Amino acid sequence: MPAPETVLSVRNLAVRFGRSKLRAVDGVSLDLGTERLGIVGESGSGKSTLGRAIMRLLPNAAHVEAATLDFDGKPLLTRPEREMRTLRGNRMALIMQDPRYSLNPVLSVGKQVAEAALLHGKIGKKEAYAKAADMLARVRIADVERVMSLYPHQISGGMGQRVMIAMMLLAKPRLVVADEPTSALDVSVRGDVLNLLDELVRENNSGLMLISHDIRMVAAFCQRILVMYKGRVVETLTRLDEAQHPYTRGLIAAMPDPRNPVQRLQTLDRRAIDALEARS
């Protein structure tokens, strides 16, 4: 499905680390419009590296090469770090897995969210606080006044992730990369966080890249799914039942499904997948 406006365009992206010849990400091409795109794979498949390569947040030892890596029509790879800094958090945002590690433990919630507003909005302190309070109310935090004075260790994981979303989406970014935004959370709050993310992304008319290992969740939430294995995109799907590649099928079958109970779960036949990959 061609997206109406292209937010991000990637052709032949490859990432190597240090002197290793191994490509953590190998020839990935994708276009992201104002839509929800899911990236699925096991740990080590390169999905998070892909997300970070787009944000240009990889360490110096990483070599990122791409034929095209355009964000909003302009190339990203040649920009100096200074420009990237103004882009990140402002035009593009990354939501990480665990709010316990990604929030600053020594700043109160209100201060952190206001800081984000201050940095990107060219506004005064008072305004920034007001904006932060609005945003926190938007992510359905009850009793905003109280929560703003709390420190990250005093709030729950689900609330922490909502604070994180508030902080990241405050500047109305064009591109949101969410790297396992719900895997540190309870199932019961997972749906809320995803719906909230969706609502805000739609409202801002931005593109969302959702990175996760949970193929069923991604399928329920995203319009398109890229399946990654060993740094390469093996398949692009719009619905789960279209899956052709044995790796994708293996991933789906490995998840227990209470509606179709089985005695033993199917595990991935890695040898068969590697053999198929070697041929192609």
Partner 1 sequence: MIEVSNLSVSFGSGEARRQVVKGVSFVVGKGETLGIVGESGCGKSTVLRSLAGLDRHWEGEIRLAGNAVDRERSREQLKLAQMVFQDPYGSIHPRHRIERVLAEPARAMKIGDGWSRVAPSLEQVGLPANFAERFPHELSGGQRQRVAIARALMLEPEILLLDEPTSALDVSVQAEVLNLLSDLREERNLTYVLVSHDLSVIAHMCDRVLVMKDGAFVDELDKGALEQGQTHHPYSKQLFKASFL
Binding site for partner 1 (CB under 8 A): 42-43, 156-157, 186-191, 194, 213-217, 220-221, 250-251, 254-259, 261-268
Integer Cα distance of 68 and 11 in angstroms: 5
Residue 179's alpha-carbon distances to 18, 101, 193, 203, in angstroms, are 23, 13, 13, 20
Find how far residue 265's CA is from the centre of its chain.
Answer: 28
- Is the CB of 142 or the CB of 262 nearer to partner 1? 262
Residue 210 and residue 37 in contact, taking contact as beta carbons nearer than 8 Å: yes
**Number of alpha carbons in the 13 Å side-chain half-sphere of residue 254:** 15
Which three-class secondary structure state does DSSP give residue 29? strand
Residue nearer to partner 1 on the CB measure, 60 or 188:
188
From the centroid of its chain, how far is CA 148? 25
Nearest to 184, CA basis, from 165, 142, 156: 156
Minimum distance from residue 112 beta carbon to partner 1 (Å): 23
Tell me how far, at minimum, the Cβ of 156 lies from partner 1, in Å: 8
Contacts of 145 (CB under 8 A, 6+ apart): 133
At closest approach, how far in Å is the CB of 17 from partner 1? 18
| Token reading at 64 | 């990122």
Minimum CB separation from partner 1 for residue 229, in Å?
11
Cα dist from 129 to 118, 167, 190, whole Å: 9, 12, 28
Nearest residue (CB) to partner 1, 43 versus 280:
43
Between residues 113 and 164, which has the closer beta carbon with respect to partner 1?
A: 164
> What is the closest distance, in whole angstroms, from the C-beta atom of residue 23 to partner 1 in the complex?
20
> What is the rounded distance in angstroms from the CA atom of residue 168 to the CA atom of residue 116?
8
Measured from the CB of residue 216, what is the shortest distance to partner 1 in angstroms?
A: 7
Nearer to partner 1, 263 or 280 (CB): 263
